[in-house]
Chains A and B, each alone.
Chain A
Amino acid sequence: MLMNKQETILKVNDLNISFHTFAGEVKAIRGVNFELKKGETLAIVGESGSGKSVTSKSIMGLLPKSNSEVKKGEILFQGKNLTKLSDKQMQKIRGKDIAMVFQDPMTSLNPTMTIGKQIIEPILKHQNASKEEAKKRALELLSLVGIPKPEQRFKQYPHQFSGGMRQRVVVAIALACNPKILIADEPTTALDVTIQAQILELMKDLQKKIETSIIFITHDLGVVANVADRVAVMYGGQIVEIGTVDEIFYNPKHPYTWGLLSSMPSLDAKEEKLFAIPGTPPDLLNPPKGDPFAARNQFAMKIDFEQQPPLYQVSETHFAATWLLHPNAPKVEPPESIKQRMRQFNAQKGGDHIE
């Protein structure tokens, strides 16, 4: 994977976002940095409240103006800082250059409009197309996402579609203007495994055809392993580990990533007890002073409670924010299932190098 040579399409620099609530200021995003390359899929994983959806909504400019605030940082896209754009300017980008697929296909479509009209909408708005052209394009899109009998389906309403078919329509709308970036926020969480597999295959196919970059937000590590080129793990409003999919799954460095990977049962496993991360995620009203994961971390050291760890570089593409990577840190033994993954990684590296 020669990701480094590819052009960067989106850059997020030191992003800080807060919500103002009755209880006080919730610091939802606390210093997030990442880049998105052309044609790649970056998966963002984390639990609810880790800030993954807020990150994606801030890129789309969909955070409510009334109670959210970008405290610091910038989102750079085509030389523009998206956090500073007005509503009008943002409308020109949203749906055209950056499009989004939402989690729940049952609520993200308008129940009172035919799906044809909903697909035509962005084409008319952004591409100066005539009605006929737009309709032709919409029919193409419907067959592209694998909906049979597009002419007939074009005139139907969302309630006449199944969940999987609706999500295909949502994908078709998102792709209507050939966006440069597609943000998919848990696009398959509401779907059954068999339908999920179909939608994931569809998205990968389409990505190859139109060279879109995808930001894929999910909490399902199985899905991540399936779609991602690179993975960012978020916790407590920060990215705690980022790397290629192989590095995160076979050579994870952050104890939170260890916990996430070992709390999922594997199909061939015979483990008697699942590894469970104790406790609950931090309260972002009063974020902890040191490492946000320290309180749930069995490997936590004194410094974890006092100072935030910097992002240590593991390889050219792999970074992790944990004091365990400090040269003076004690050597710790990761859980057995993680060591197994690491052995697989080393075996791979020893043999043929990866793609």
Chain B
Amino acid sequence: MRKKGGITLSEKDVILQVKNLKQYFNVGKPNEVKAVDDVSFDIYRGETLGLVGESGCGKSTTGRTIIRLYNATGGEVIFNGQNVHDKKSTTDLKQFNRKMQMIFQDPYASLNPRMKVVDIIAEGIDIHGLAKSAQARKDRVYQLLETVGLNKEHANRYPHEFSGGQRQRIGIARALAVEPDFIIADEPISALDVSIQAQVVNLMKELQEEKGLTYLFIAHDLSMVKYISDRIGVMYFGKLVELAPANELYENPLHPYTKSLLSAIPLPDPDYERNRKRIKYDPSVHKGTNTEFREVKPGHFVSCTEEEFKEIKAKQ
């Protein structure tokens, strides 16, 4: 396994455990939505877990429930050994917020247009009292700006003076300001141009190596997800249907929905495109009942019925 930030992944130090997480909206009403329905997975310290699926499949809701932007309908999220959704005192909650941060999709909407960059980045520093003096605060912001590839002249400007890629860098600096262990990145690059996407992804990878960060990377761009992730989970209608190491998922997809999703990605290769056959997903292909999330190979989980499980096992 590849080494990251001095931590070997095979040590399998679990940083976040999601157990039977449920997030329903409009509970008890006719328009009840099961946005996240019984999802379980682990995230290991130092790795990147990619979460993919179509819009409306519940991937963003999963991220938001993990960081407690929503109160879960059911299930548990255990972060560093503690249940996130327990009743917590303000101090505990503050401690938790410091260790888990989020980077948002839209760099235009996620920065307060009336605040200077220095105050946006230092907001977390102020709340947690991480800077002893005004000078220390300023130095820390300058240092963060440099870490994300901006410079200190940028500190006194407002968000509208920056391009999309630069704003996303500011968003990353803000997340890093409180020295988190775990960052949830919700479609961090989908609003950026192709050439800028590569810059931001490279930056996120460098930071991960330097600081030993753990990422939950939510996206619908599958080629970028494969590039950045160690493991990938595929969601469909609120359920996790497949979870496997990145290469394994692409080389050996087992769930029919994963196959259809992979076959739909257009690649920058005209020859491949001329011969591409798209596979359509038909939920009625599943045989039998009793669908469960089962481990078919070490580390490769698929949601399947008992019959299908036997079939997959027989093929191996």
5 A-B pairs with least C-beta separation:
A222-B266, A265-B227, A276-B198, A221-B268, A263-B198
Q: Which residues of A contact B223 (CB under 8 A)?
A: 222, 264-267
Q: Which residues of A contact B271 (CB under 8 A)?
A: 344, 348
B residues 155-206 in Cβ contact with A at 8 Å:
163-166, 193-199, 201-202, 205
> When A249-B268, A266-B267, A275-B198 are in contact, do A194 and B224 touch as well, CB less than 8 Å?
no
CB distance from B72 to the nearest CB of A (A): 26
Stretch touching chain B among A90-98, A123-131, A223-231: A223-231
Is the CB–CB distance between B195 and A260 below 8 Å?
Answer: yes
Give the residue name and chain of the B residue nearest to A48 (CB): B193
Is the CB–CB distance between B261 and A194 below 8 Å?
Answer: yes
> When A192-B220, A194-B260, A194-B261 are in contact, do A224 and B198 touch as well, CB less than 8 Å?
no
Q: Which residues of B contact A (CB under 8 A)?
A: 54-55, 163-166, 193-199, 201-202, 205, 220, 222-224, 226-227, 250, 260-261, 264-273, 276, 278, 281
Is the CB–CB distance between B264 and A225 below 8 Å?
Answer: no
Is the CB–CB distance between A197 and B202 below 8 Å?
Answer: no
Q: Is A66 an interface position by the 8 A CB rule?
A: no
Docked complex Cα distance between A47 and B166 (Å): 15
CB distance from A340 to the nearest CB of B (A): 11
Q: Which residues of B contact A269 (CB under 8 A)?
A: 227
Docked complex Cα distance between A192 and B23 (Å): 23
Q: Which residues of A contact B198 (CB under 8 A)?
A: 263-264, 274-277
> When A225-B273, A280-B165 are in contact, do A201 and B195 touch as well, CB less than 8 Å?
no
A residues 200-239 in Cβ contact with B at 8 Å:
200-201, 219-226, 228
Docked complex Cα distance between A221 and B190 (Å): 15
Q: Is A245 an interface position by the 8 A CB rule?
A: yes
Q: Which residues of A contact B202 (CB under 8 A)?
A: 273-274, 276
Docked complex Cα distance between A259 and B265 (Å): 21
> When A225-B273, A226-B273, A280-B165 are in contact, do A267 and B267 touch as well, CB less than 8 Å?
yes
Is the CB–CB distance between A193 and B195 below 8 Å?
Answer: no
Docked complex Cα distance between A50 and B199 (Å): 19
Is the CB–CB distance between B194 and A221 below 8 Å?
Answer: yes
Q: Which residues of A contact B281 (CB under 8 A)?
A: 194
CB distance from B79 to the nearest CB of A (A): 30
A residues 114-164 in Cβ contact with B at 8 Å:
163
Q: Which residues of B contact A197 (CB under 8 A)?
A: 264, 266, 278
CB distance from A179 to the nearest CB of B (A): 25
Is the CB–CB distance between A280 and B266 below 8 Å?
Answer: no
Residue from the list B164, B250, B264 in contact with A267, Cβ < 8 A: B250
Is the CB–CB distance between A226 and B195 below 8 Å?
Answer: no
Is the CB–CB distance between A264 and B278 below 8 Å?
Answer: no
Give the residue name and chain of the A residue nearest to B278 (CB): A197
CB distance from B176 to the nearest CB of A (A): 20
Q: Is A261 an interface position by the 8 A CB rule?
A: yes
Q: Which residues of B contact A194 (CB under 8 A)?
A: 54, 260-261, 264, 281
Interface residue tally of chain A, by bracket? 35 or more
Residue from the list B163, B199, B268 in contact with A222, Cβ < 8 A: B268
Would you give the 0/1 interface string for A48-64, flagging 1 where the beta carbon is closer than 8 Å to chain B? 10000000000000000
Q: Which residues of B contact A271 (CB under 8 A)?
A: 227
Docked complex Cα distance between A266 and B199 (Å): 16
Is the CB–CB distance between B194 and A274 below 8 Å?
Answer: no
Docked complex Cα distance between A267 and B205 (Å): 18
Is the CB–CB distance between B197 and A225 below 8 Å?
Answer: no
Q: Which residues of B contact A201 (CB under 8 A)?
A: 278
Is the CB–CB distance between A193 and B220 below 8 Å?
Answer: yes
A residues 307-355 in Cβ contact with B at 8 Å:
344, 348
Residue from the list B205, B220, B266, B270 in contact with A220, Cβ < 8 A: B266
Which of the listed residues B166, B260, B261, B264 has the most CB atoms from chain A within 10 Å of its own CB? B264
Q: Which residues of B contact A278 (CB under 8 A)?
A: 199
Q: Which residues of B contact A200 (CB under 8 A)?
A: 266
Would you give the 0/1 interface string for A24-58, flagging 1 where the beta carbon is closer than 8 Å to chain B? 00000000000000000000000110000000000
Residue from the list B55, B195, B268, B273 in contact with A47, Cβ < 8 A: B195
Which of the listed residues B202, B222, B273 has the most CB atoms from chain A within 10 Å of its own CB? B273
Q: Is A196 an interface position by the 8 A CB rule?
A: yes
Docked complex Cα distance between A70 and B272 (Å): 40
Q: Is A104 an interface position by the 8 A CB rule?
A: no
**9 A-B contacts (beta carbon < 8 Å):** A194-B261, A194-B281, A223-B266, A225-B267, A265-B227, A267-B265, A273-B202, A274-B201, A280-B163
Is the CB–CB distance between B195 and A259 below 8 Å?
Answer: yes
Q: Which residues of B contact A192 (CB under 8 A)?
A: 54-55, 220
Docked complex Cα distance between A228 and B273 (Å): 10
> When A194-B261, A265-B226, A267-B250 are in contact, do A276 and B195 touch as well, CB less than 8 Å?
yes
Residue from the list A220, A267, A273 in contact with B226, Cβ < 8 A: A267
Q: Which residues of A contact B272 (CB under 8 A)?
A: 225
Docked complex Cα distance between A171 and B202 (Å): 37
Docked complex Cα distance between A274 and B200 (Å): 10
Docked complex Cα distance between A224 and B268 (Å): 7
Residue from the list A163, A266, A277 in contact with B195, Cβ < 8 A: A277
Q: Which residues of A contact B267 (CB under 8 A)?
A: 222, 225, 266-267
CB distance from B226 to the nearest CB of A (A): 6
Docked complex Cα distance between A69 and B266 (Å): 37
CB distance from A221 to the nearest CB of B (A): 4
Docked complex Cα distance between A179 and B268 (Å): 29
Q: Is A14 an interface position by the 8 A CB rule?
A: no
Give the residue name and chain of the B residue nearest to A261 (CB): B268
Give the residue name and chain of the A residue nearest to B226 (CB): A267
Q: Is A186 an interface position by the 8 A CB rule?
A: no
Q: Which residues of B contact A344 (CB under 8 A)?
A: 271
Q: Which residues of B contact A275 (CB under 8 A)?
A: 198
Q: Which residues of A contact B278 (CB under 8 A)?
A: 197, 201
Give the residue name and chain of the B residue nearest to A270 (CB): B247
Is the CB–CB distance between B194 and A226 below 8 Å?
Answer: no
Give the residue name and chain of the B residue nearest to A163 (CB): B55
Is the CB–CB distance between A249 and B222 below 8 Å?
Answer: no
Q: Which residues of B contact A47 (CB under 8 A)?
A: 193-196
Q: Which residues of B contact A280 (CB under 8 A)?
A: 163, 165-166, 196
